[in-house]
Amino acid sequence: MRAITAVNAIAIAGGALTIAYAAAEVTAAAAGASIPDGIRVLAATIIGLTVLGPLGLAILCRQRTILNELGEIHDFMLTSDAGQAARDYNAIRRQLGGDDGGSVIRIHPKE
**For 9-42, what is each residue's pLDDT tens digit?**
887 888 888 888 888 888 888 888 888 888 888 8
Tens of pLDDT, residues 39-92 = 888 888 888 888 788 878 878 878 888 888 888 888 888 888 778 888 888 887
What are the domain boundaries of the chain?
A: 2-68
Distances (CA, A) of 64 to 45, 61, 67, 70: 27, 5, 5, 10
The set of long-range contacts for 4-11, using a CB threshold of 8 Å and a minimum separation of 24, is 4/58, 4/61, 4/62, 7/54, 7/55, 7/57, 7/58, 7/61, 8/54, 8/58, 10/50, 10/53, 10/54, 11/50, 11/51, 11/54, 11/55, 11/58
Q: What is the pTM of this model?
A: 0.46
